[in-house]
Amino acid sequence: MKNIAIFGSTGSIGKNTLSVIKRFPDKFRAVALSANSDIKTLSLQIEQFKPLFVCVRDEKAAFKLKKVLGRKTKIYSGQKGLLEFSQDKRIDQCVFAISGSAGLVPLLTAIKNKKDIALANKEALVMAGPIIMRMADKSKIKIIPVDSEQSAIWQCLQGEGRARLKIVYLTASGGPLLYEKKSSLKRVSILRVLNHPRWKMGKKITVDSATLMNKGLEFLEAMFLFNINHRMIKVLIHPEALIHSMVEFMDGVILAQLSRTDMRIPIQYALSYPERLANGFAGIDFYKLKSLNFSKPDISMFPCLSLAYQAARELGTLPAVMNAANEVAVEEFLNARIGFTAIPKIVEKVMLRHSNNLNPVLVDILDADTWARQEAGRFIRKRST
As a whole number of angstroms, the distance between CA 25 and CA 277 comes to 12
Spatial distance between the Cα atoms of 102 and 91, rounded to a whole number of angstroms? 21
Nearer to Mg ion, 30 or 263 (CB): 263
In 3D space, the residue among 58, 273, 231, 287 whose CA is nearest the CA of residue 146 turns out to be: 273
Exposed e or buried b per residue across 174-184, where buried means at least 16 C-beta atoms within 10 angstroms of its C-beta: bbbbbebeeee
Distances (CA, A) of 66 to 37, 55, 77, 318: 13, 11, 10, 41
Q: Which residue is nearest to Mg ion (CB)?
A: 147
CB of 246 vs Mg ion, minimal distance in Å: 14
Nearer to Mg ion, 172 or 338 (CB): 172
Return the number of the residue (147 or 327) whose C-beta is nearest Mg ion. 147
Q: How far is the CB of 218 from Mg ion (least distance, A)?
A: 6
* Cβ-based nearer residue to Mg ion, 147 or 248: 147
Beta carbon nearer to Mg ion, 147 or 375: 147
Q: Which residues bind Mg ion (CB under 5 A)?
A: 147-149
Minimum gap (Å) between residue 148 Cβ and Mg ion: 5
**DSSP secondary structure code for residue 77 in this structure:** E
Q: Which is nearer to Mg ion, 54 or 170 (CB)?
A: 170
Beta carbon of residue 190, minimum distance to Mg ion (angstroms, whole number): 21
The burial of 194, by beta-carbon neighbours within 10 Å (0-12 exposed, 13-18 middle, 19 or more buried), is given as middle
- Least distance to Mg ion, CB of residue 243, Å: 13
Handedness of CA 291, 199, 129, 317 (dihedral sign): positive
Smaller CB separation from Mg ion, 31 or 95 = 95
Instruction: In angstroms, give the least distance from the CB of 177 to Mg ion.
Output: 17
Which residues does residue 144 pair with via DSSP β-bridges, in sequence order? 118
d(CA 30, CA 209): 30
Of the two residues 45 and 155, which places its CB atom closer to Mg ion in the complex? Answer: 155
- Other residues' Cβ atoms within 10 Å of the Cβ of residue 315: 18
Measure the CA–CA gap between 225 and 275, rounded to whole angstroms. 21
CA distance 240 to 46: 37
Residue 10 contacts residue 42 (beta carbons within 8 Å): yes
Q: Which is nearer to Mg ion, 148 or 268 (CB)?
A: 148
Which residue's CB is nearer to Mg ion, number 149 or number 240? 149
Q: Which residues pair with 55 in a beta bridge?
A: 34, 76
Q: How far is the CB of 122 from Mg ion (least distance, A)?
A: 8
Cα angle, residue 115 at apex, residues 112 and 120 outer, rounded to 5°? 100
- Please state, in angstroms and as integers, the Cα–Cα distance from residue 87 to each residue in 46, 75, 233, following that order: 20, 14, 36
CB of 196 to Mg ion, least distance (A): 11
CB of 375 to Mg ion, least distance (A): 27
CB of 116 to Mg ion, least distance (A): 21
Element (H, E) at 165: strand 165-172
Please name every residue paired with 32 in a beta bridge, in sequence order, or none if there are none.
5, 53
Give Dmax (Cα) for the chain: 63
